[in-house]
Amino acid sequence: MFTQNPQTLGMPEGTYVFDLRTCNRRLAFNRFFWNMIRPEAREAFWQDEEAAMASAGLDDEEKALVRARDWLGIVQSGVNFFVLEKWARVVRKTNLEVYAIMRGESLEEFMQTRAVPHAR
Amino acid sequence: MARIIGGIGTSHVPTIGVAYDKGRQEDPVWAPLFEGYKPVARWLAEKQPDVLLFFYNDHATTLFFDLYPTFALGVGARFPVADEGAGLRGLPDIRGDVDFQAHIGEALVNEEFDLAFFQNKPIDHGIASPLPLLWPHEPDWPGTVVPIAINVLQYPLPTARRCYRLGQAVRRAVESYPEDLSVVVVGTGGLSHQIHGERTGFNNTEWDLEFLELLRDDPERLTRLSHADYVRLGGAESVEQIMWLAMRGALGPQLDEVHRNYYLMTTTAMTVVTYEERVAGDLAAPMREQEVA
């Protein structure tokens, strides 16, 4: 039976609460991204993405999200952004580029909404 | 006796570390950030604290969600700066004073803050992003660090009030240490930002400034906010500001804000604030207030 944590009652739209239930459902997927703090895991991913995903035990849905570089979909599926950003370094995406993608914008469009649009 | 001589609140944006390592201190885009830390570095050079006690969060680097503690204190003479996916940064290991860390741990557990303890682990940008802007590191850091990691990633997070009370207990723990160490407490994270989901890019400067006023003058009010309140007001990841409340809890009732820098460049309201405690009989502070009025 689902019970509501009163501390997270009233979260705004477009925000995904990473809680124990989410983490429990997606622990292997989160671990796959977390592993990217190790050079050997980065090397294995660069060598063979499919083999790296298989040995991490990702399911078909998770593999498809990685193949599609679907950043928002990965977050919505239950991955914490702070493990995801480790993988962003591995596939050579800056955080600003990932932010733009999650908003459905190009980097240029996103930067036009910022206080210092030419910052990188 | 060890004593707390002041406090610092600071953002811990990882790109601050990247810009620092690339030597972009003079770059017009980054200069307003780096210039804003210089008075804090000067203040620390003048006060010469032995210890920086950090309330910070690990970003699932040192620790993974298969065992993710609510509060965790690091014990060790050296902590390497973590590889977070982009390689090592070339900073010297963060230094620690094991006897002092162990004392803080014992005092907190004896006060019923049942911490976890980590050893022989690297520390990520939760501390390593701002640290080189606060302290010089060549040839080595001038003092030691007490790292207290707070879970702000995986709900349930500790409440704002619990973090404030942790800070109060840390003050008692510091003051029960017999050696004459001077300690600055540091809270990292924030201010407004959201970096996941469709709401990415949310900021709220009006709230950020109100938060800073309340933190200095009426922190109890901030302890009554829920996590959802922080997220609604400042964006999902601004819930990190509960770590500033822990820092505030370790400071006395009346504070002077001796320095503030606020720079919202792209997605995070990058902020650094320095606090000194107002001692009884200090006439300077009320006069300063009068000038403003």
> Are A8 and B236 inside 8 Å of each other by CB?
no
Chain A residues inside the 8 Å CB shell of B236: 15
Number of Cβ atoms within 10 Å of the Cβ of A36: 25
**Mind listing the pLDDT tens digit for each residue in A42-77?**
999 999 999 999 999 999 999 999 999 999 999 999
More confident residue, B20 or B282: B20
Whether B287 maps to a domain, the answer reads: no
Q: Per the omega criterion (within 30 degrees of 0), is the bond before B191 cis? A: yes
pLDDT score for B286: 47
Q: Is B125 considered catalytic here? A: yes
Please identify which of the residues B12, B59, B103, B125 carries the catalytic annotation. Answer: B125
Q: Residue B117: in which H helix or E strand, if any?
A: strand B116-119
Query: What ipTM, to 2 d.p.?
Result: 0.97
From the centroid of its chain, how far is CA B250? 12
> Are A75 and B196 inside 8 Å of each other by CB?
yes
Mean pLDDT (whole number) for A20-28:
98
Q: For residues B90 and B162, give the distance between their C-alpha atoms in angstroms, rounded to a whole number.
A: 36
**Interface test mutation site (partner A, options B27, B64, B155, B224, max chain A beta carbons within 10 A):** B155
Pairing of strands B182-188, B3-10: parallel
Comparing alpha-carbon positions, the chain B residue that sits nearest to A112 is B266
Count of A–B CB contacts within 8 Å?
Answer: 139
Q: What are phi and psi of A54, to 5 degrees?
A: -65, -45
**Residue A98 three-state SS:** helix
Q: Which CATH superfamily is domain A17-113 in?
A: Dioxygenase LigAB, LigA subunit (1.10.700.10)
Whether B281 maps to a domain, the answer reads: no
CA distance from start to end of chain A: 46
């403003």: which residue's tokens? Answer: B292
Mean pLDDT (whole number) for B260-264:
98
Q: For residues A115 and A111, give the distance between their C-alpha atoms in angstroms, rounded to a whole number.
A: 8
Q: For residues A58 and A27, give the distance between their C-alpha atoms in angstroms, rounded to a whole number.
A: 10
- Going by C-alpha positions, the residue among B231, B286, B235 that lies closest to residue B256 is B286
- Per the structure, how many domains does chain B have? 1
Query: pLDDT band at residue A120, thresholds of 50, 70 and 90?
Result: confident
Pairing of strands B269-277, B255-264: antiparallel
B123: closest CA of chain A, how far (Å): 12
Whether B47 maps to a domain, the answer reads: yes
Please state which of the ranges B30-34, B41-45, B50-54, B275-279 shows the lowest mean pLDDT. Answer: B275-279
Whether B289 maps to a domain, the answer reads: no
| Interface check A60 vs B, CB under 8 A | no
The CATH number of whichever domain residue B27 belongs to comes to 3.40.830.10
Listed by start position, the domains of chain A span: 17-113
Mean pLDDT (whole number) for A10-37:
98
pLDDT score for B284: 53
Mean pLDDT (whole number) for B194-219:
98
**Mind listing the pLDDT tens digit for each residue in B106-138?**
999 999 999 999 999 999 999 999 999 999 999
Where in the sequence is the domain holding B13, given as residue range(s)? 3-262
Q: Residue B101: in which H helix or E strand, if any?
A: helix B98-110
pLDDT score for B293: 36
**Residues near A34 by Cβ (< 8 Å), separated by ≥ 6?**
A83, A86, B60, B64, B65
pLDDT score for B281: 61
Whether B116 maps to a domain, the answer reads: yes
Chain A residues inside the 8 Å CB shell of B65: 23, 27, 30-31, 34, 80
Mean pLDDT (whole number) for B168-188:
98
